[in-house]
A and B are shown apart, each in its own frame.
Chain A
Amino acid sequence: MNILEAIVRLIWLVGAAGFVLGLMRMNSPATARNGNLVSAGGMALAIAAMLVLLAVDKGLSTTAWIIILIGIALGGGLGLYMARNVKMTAMPQLVSLFNAVGGGAAALIAIDDFLRLSGQAGASIPLQTSVPTVLDIVIGSITFSGSLIASGKLMGLKITPSRPVMIPGGQLVTGALALIVAVAAIYLWLGNASVPVMFVILAMALIFGVTMTLPIGGADMPVVISLLNSFTGTAVAMAGFVLDNTVLIIAGALVGASGAILTKLMADAMNRSVINIMVGGFGGGEGTVGAMSGSGGSVREIGVDDAAIQLAYAQSVIVVPGYGLAVAQAQHAVRELAELLESRGVDVKYAIHPVAGRMPGHMNVLLAEANVPYPQLREMEEINPEFDRCDVALVIGANDVTNPAARHPGSPVSGMPILDVDHARSIIVMKRSMGRGYAGIDNELYVNPKTGMLFADAKAGLAELISAVKAL
């Protein structure tokens, strides 16, 4: 190791420390933005150091310079454009797309390395290289195709509809693909540097990513994206082993661990195991959905004016925003209503369920974009006791996360942590229809005598509410 390389390796260490410190500063909204900048600074340092090392030490050829500069210009320009112009509601599919290209790049590194090593005369790749190479190709390719499909599903593209797409003999196909990959991997690990076998692995892993993601419903995509994010991290760590580069190993392992935790947190919030989600289909067996206990209870419908009076003369109101609010793009309308109520002296808070929106924490981002101050956004554990003291709970486009059926056994949502909306003195549910939520069951909250149903699209309904409150 010459002096330059030693310096570069030390800079990489600084970069890796930047990633860890950056993630640590993401613990609180007050320091999070700074944390992201620390992380970005570490990244810039690490990349610049690599460029210097390559230019000075490895004597970068003109072609290599052109490749690197064109690649950076292309990818950077495209990434910058998309990141600047994406709507906040479309955030999940963009994150998934960036995840796909990251996984793709990791796989390409391993493919290139394998081709180089196998091209040498009498090639025999040692196990310590072939193991991470194959793992990198497998995981990176699954992430690449899987994330693209996930992104397409969230965009609602025709070829990748957001509903679960069942592949005929799905489990069998998936099993067969996994078996082929496993056999081929072992063949390579036995020291056979066969390029065709490597391409078989590549193709099978790409198909596996597709067949794994297609059967999963759009509402489960956040969990899948989070899992695939974790996969990319792992693939990058494997690329680090292939190239013997510590900063790739550290960053990859960090992301692998973070993605794994997030995936588990999300799945826990839905009271489902990650495996259950990956196998796909929720409520597929309609027959198992038990009849609603106390069914036959009648639903009380209320008008906009009635709702406006309740809200305007309340002391405290808790808003429970859900997926429906995000779909209707009604974040700004809800903030306007809240400000109006506050100007009348009403105490307004937001109760955010961990899985509200399309990604863990997505609802917070949407409301923050609508300029809602984050101290008003309360997490489930924190806000639940406050429902007892709250005059009106305003539920907008949220369903399963408010269903009291979760508290007793015998329902598909049993055991899922919910917001204790039914503890409020009065409940207003704004919803387009009596349609069921994602779990496909009736919501006991709606037949609660304290509940008034306000049937409206979130955006239009909120606009009407705002003018009704103003008219009071």
Chain B
Amino acid sequence: MNPELLAALTVFVLAILCGFAVISKVPATLHTPLMSGANSIHGIVLVGSMFIAASATDTLSQFLSLVAVAFSTMNVVGGYVVTDRMLQMFRKKPVAPKAADEKAA
């Protein structure tokens, strides 16, 4: 096993434990936004998609990477926007219904 792989595995395991530690404290009220927020985080795969797009030379590769970039951008943009839409509705005090309706629309 080379040092790079060992380092990568270490990071992998510690990140899993970090995920457990951070997430088990979240109250049930926020589980849906959390699921959606976590869903947007794995949109980081866009970094990988751009990488394969950069090294694509044949048509098949170019096509695959185009689909990958489009898919992952959809994941990132849609995920964050929809999570924000959910979270902006959590308010301590009610606001005038009209303003809320406009925002929701």
Q: In the complex, are the beta carbons of B75 and A101 less than 8 A apart?
A: yes
- The answer for the CA separation of A99 and B82 in the assembled complex, in Å, is 13
B4 touches A (CB below 8 Å): yes
Q: List residues 120-163 of chain A with CB under 8 A from any CB of chain B.
A: 128
Q: List residues 231-271 of chain A with CB under 8 A from any CB of chain B.
A: 232-233, 236-237, 239-259, 261-262, 265-266
Residues of A contacting B92 in the complex (Cβ-Cβ under 8 angstroms): 29-30, 373-375
> Which of B2, B17, B37, B84 gathers the greatest number of chain A CB atoms within 10 Å?
B37
Q: In the complex, are the beta carbons of A360 and B31 less than 8 A apart?
A: yes
Chain A 348-378 near chain B by CB (<8 Å), digits 1 or 0: 0000101001011110110011011111010
A182 touches B (CB below 8 Å): no
How many chain A residues touch B (Cβ–Cβ < 8 Å)?
A: 116
Q: In the complex, are the beta carbons of B78 and A94 less than 8 A apart?
A: yes
Q: In the complex, are the beta carbons of A243 and B11 less than 8 A apart?
A: no
> Which of A23, A75, A377 gathers the greatest number of chain B CB atoms within 10 Å?
A75
A111 touches B (CB below 8 Å): yes
Residues of A contacting B95 in the complex (Cβ-Cβ under 8 angstroms): 371
Q: Of the candidates B19, B31, B68, B71, which one forms a contact with A256 in the assembled complex, judged by CB atoms under 8 Å apart? A: B19
Q: In the complex, are the beta carbons of A371 and B76 less than 8 A apart?
A: no
Residues of B contacting A12 in the complex (Cβ-Cβ under 8 angstroms): 47
Q: In the complex, are the beta carbons of B39 and A98 less than 8 A apart?
A: yes
A387 touches B (CB below 8 Å): no
A280 touches B (CB below 8 Å): no
A14 touches B (CB below 8 Å): no
Q: In the complex, are the beta carbons of A360 and B35 less than 8 A apart?
A: yes
CB distance from B65 to the nearest CB of A (A): 6
Given A91-B36, A373-B93, A361:B73 Cβ within 8 A: no
Q: In the complex, are the beta carbons of B39 and A229 less than 8 A apart?
A: yes
Chain B 46-70 near chain A by CB (<8 Å), digits 1 or 0: 1111111111100011101111111
Q: In the complex, are the beta carbons of A252 and B42 less than 8 A apart?
A: yes
- Nearest B residue to A87, CB-CB: B104
CB distance from B48 to the nearest CB of A (A): 5
Q: In the complex, are the beta carbons of B81 and A80 less than 8 A apart?
A: yes
Given A83-B82, A98-B78, A28:B61 Cβ within 8 A: no
> Which of B16, B74, B97 gathers the greatest number of chain A CB atoms within 10 Å?
B74
Residues of B contacting A29 in the complex (Cβ-Cβ under 8 angstroms): 29-30, 87, 90, 92
Q: List residues 83-105 of chain B with CB under 8 A from any CB of chain A.
A: 83-95, 97, 100, 104
A167 touches B (CB below 8 Å): no
Q: In the complex, are the beta carbons of A39 and B91 less than 8 A apart?
A: no
A27 touches B (CB below 8 Å): yes
Q: In the complex, are the beta carbons of A237 and B32 less than 8 A apart?
A: no
A203 touches B (CB below 8 Å): no
Contacting chain B: which of A63-71, A206-214, A287-295, A306-314? A63-71
CB distance from B21 to the nearest CB of A (A): 9
- Nearest A residue to B84, CB-CB: A36
Given A79-B79, A112-B65, A373-B91, A51:B50 Cβ within 8 A: yes
Residues of A contacting B80 in the complex (Cβ-Cβ under 8 angstroms): 36, 39-40, 43
Q: In the complex, are the beta carbons of A258 and B90 less than 8 A apart?
A: no
- The answer for the CA separation of A251 and B37 in the assembled complex, in Å, is 12
Q: Of the candidates A58, A233, A262, A361, which one forms a contact with B42 in the assembled complex, judged by CB atoms under 8 Å apart? A: A233
- Nearest A residue to B19, CB-CB: A257
A180 touches B (CB below 8 Å): no
A104-B71, A109-B51, A357-B32 known, 19 other contacts, Cβ within 8 Å = A32-B90, A36-B80, A60-B54, A61-B54, A101-B72, A108-B49, A108-B64, A109-B48, A239-B45, A245-B47, A248-B44, A249-B12, A250-B15, A254-B18, A257-B20, A258-B19, A262-B31, A354-B28, A361-B30
5 smallest CB-CB distances across A and B, nearest first, come from A71-B69, A257-B19, A79-B78, A361-B31, A75-B73
Residues of B within 8 A of A (CB): 1-2, 4-5, 8, 11-13, 15-20, 22-56, 60-62, 64-95, 97, 100, 104
Q: List 6 A-B contacts (CB under 8 A).
A: A29-B87, A71-B68, A78-B78, A80-B81, A251-B41, A373-B91
